Amino acid sequence: MCFKKVFVKRKKSIKHYLWILRNEVIKKDKDLKKGDICSVYEDDKFIGNGLFNWESKIAIRLYSFKDEDFDVPLIKERILKAYQYRKEVLPDEEDFRLVYGESDLLTGTVIDKYQNHFVVQIYSYGVEIRKEKIFQALIELFDVKSIFEKNDFRLRELEKLPRYDRLAYGELDDLVIIKENGVKFYVDIKNGQKTGYFFDHRITRRKVRELAKDKKVLDVFCYTGSFSINAALGGAKETLGIDGNHQAIELAKKNAELNKVDKICHFLVGNAFNELRNLYKNGVTFDLIILDPPPFLKSRKELSGALRGYKDINLWAMKLLKPGGILVTSTCSHHFYWQDFLDTLNAAAEDAKKNFRIIERTTQGPDHPILLSMPETEYLRTFFLEVF
């Protein structure tokens, strides 16, 4: 191949780290344009090919350690390898995150598989201008019913990309039924949050089901009810799910009916902070509480505000726990590291005047693999805390 060249001096001396920042570029071909493929050299040694965007803080996103094009054959090979890996680690599943960006060497690309419907999110300019190649690869590999682009999200702004949602191929069902750990869910791809469903919590949901027998359960930020329904299927006496999104709550009710647990699962539209205070004021307590808030932290600059938000929401949940109760609490903010989270939970527990032991920790499921060389690929952190 004959691509334009870039010479770099990386601050991170990790061979398989896939991002090269603007301030690490020391020389580049003059005619190199935004979105171009480039061959990258360090100390005159070839290190890989990447997609170039000088307007982004991440100037180069490596997609290969070989000299090869970002074309349909490579994309097909990467998607097929990603699919085979998912089938190895999730042999009974057909609904999952099919491609998780850098973790599958398809930088700037997320693909979720909902039966034969595929949702694509792109956060790289170089991939955006080649997205038809991704669609072609999917169509050649699978019996595709639809491809939907869910590109109305903040990360695209960092690459100076417009935000939009659109049907790229085929016909999209209003609601798609998927299965996860044997549980059925309706997914509203077009109108739902992110890609429509949060596959990343599959491990935590399974563990909640195992813990729920005979318990009274509170599910905060419940979205479409996945934790509530798993708890009910695990033998919970009753569950209450709270979310501020009316449309999500309506779908949660449908999901409860779909799994024949609508007599056990109850849902409430409301502000999570306000509703937790009201429950405490009314003397209501629970055996098992799940907290799965949206990210309070988008960068380390926002840490102080995020600490207050995470402490406050966990404090109220802790106050609502019965003796021996369990809190399953999560953060999906990459920049809120394990120790930050632990320190915040300690502070909340002190104010709640309760003592806890850590009985479990979980992270994102195996369809969201974490690269050893790229800590950025880990973002989901969950603690299971038991009052004692």
Q: Is residue 25 part of a domain?
A: yes
Query: Please, which residues have CB within 8 angstroms of residue 238's CB and are 6 or more apart in sequence?
Result: 216, 217, 264, 265, 266
Q: Is residue 193 part of a domain?
A: no
pLDDT of residue 385: 98
Distance, in Å, from the CA atom of 88 to the CA atom of 209, rounded to the nearest integer, reads 23
| 270 & 323 share domain | yes
Q: Is residue 190 part of a domain?
A: no
Q: Is residue 83 part of a domain?
A: yes
Q: Report CA-CA distances (Å) from 216 to 198, 235, 264, 355.
A: 24, 10, 10, 20
| 231 & 276 share domain | yes
| 34 & 119 share domain | no
Distance, in Å, from the CA atom of 215 to the CA atom of 238, rounded to the nearest integer, reads 7
Q: What is the pLDDT of residues 257-297, one digit of tens each?
A: 999 999 999 999 999 999 999 999 999 999 999 999 988 77
| 92 & 34 share domain | no
pTM of the model: 0.95
| 172 & 310 share domain | no
pLDDT lower than 50: segments of the chain: none
Query: Please, which residues have CB within 8 angstroms of residue 228's CB and are 6 or more apart in sequence?
Result: 217, 219, 222, 239, 240, 241, 252, 256, 265, 267
Q: Is residue 122 part of a domain?
A: yes
| 233 & 381 share domain | yes
CB-CB contact of 348 with 320 (8 Å): no
- Specify the DSSP class assigned to residue 301: G
Which among 123, 142, 176 is the end of a domain?
176
- What's the CATH code of the domain at 153? 3.30.750.80
User: Helix or strand or coil: residue 248?
Assistant: helix
Q: What is the pLDDT of residues 134-159, one digit of tens each?
A: 999 999 999 999 999 999 998 899 89
Distance, in Å, from the CA atom of 370 to the CA atom of 104, rounded to the nearest integer, reads 10
pLDDT of residue 178: 98
| 27 & 102 share domain | no
| 79 & 60 share domain | no
Q: What share of the chain is helix, strand, coil (3-state, %, to 5)?
A: 35, 30, 35
CB-CB contact of 141 with 79 (8 Å): yes
pLDDT of residue 323: 96
Residue 332 known to be catalytic: yes
pLDDT of residue 319: 98
| 373 & 225 share domain | yes
- What's the CATH code of the domain at 31? 2.30.130.10
Q: Is residue 188 part of a domain?
A: no
* Helix boundaries (H) for 69-130: 72-89, 125-128
Catalytic residue among 38, 222, 265, 332: 332
Note down the domain range covering 237: 198-387
Distance, in Å, from the CA atom of 209 to the CA atom of 304, rounded to the nearest integer, reads 34
| 283 & 355 share domain | yes
Distance, in Å, from the CA atom of 281 to the CA atom of 54, rounded to the nearest integer, reads 54
- What's the CATH code of the domain at 375? 3.40.50.150
Number of domains in the chain: 3
